[in-house]
Amino acid sequence: MPRFSYDDQMTTEQPGQSCAAALRTAVEALGATVESTLDTDTEAKMGAQGFRILGGILSSEDKLPVHIHGHVEDTGAERVIYLQVAENMGMGSMLGMEKKYRQHCQDLLGRLKSQLAEQLDAT
């Protein structure tokens, strides 16, 4: 279970399959590795687990392990796309790096939402 996560959502009238495809494309555009996709869910990871050896203080933000989850829900007339970006460090201390880690997750969520909006506009 992550120590912290950031959530957001978007609403669109695009078909569910288009939303799911746009979500996968947006996640990949961030540089994340998509680990699983179902019709309505996308799970991805970013960063390197090995950064723990170096420590988060010395690591660049792109090395911080992050878990990304997206879910498309059909509510009838529109689709709601739920987004979550969470730390994925697992066990270990965040001493001296929690602020940097939180900021990185917030930034990623903003970039993901922007990428997704671009992808939806392109369809």
Task: Read off the CATH number of the domain in which 59 is found.
Answer: 3.30.530.50
Residue 122 inside a domain? The answer is: no
**pTM recorded for the entire structure:** 0.89
**Tens digits of per-residue pLDDT, 33-46?**
999 988 899 999 99
Burial class from Cβ neighbours inside 10 Å (0-12, 13-18, 19+) for residue 122 reads exposed
Count of domains forming the chain:
1
Instruction: Quote the mean pLDDT of the chain.
Output: 89
How far is 112 from 84, CA to CA, in rounded Å? 10
What domain range is 59 assigned to? Answer: 5-117
Confidence of residue 21 (pLDDT cuts 50, 70, 90): very high
Mean local confidence (pLDDT), 77-87: 96
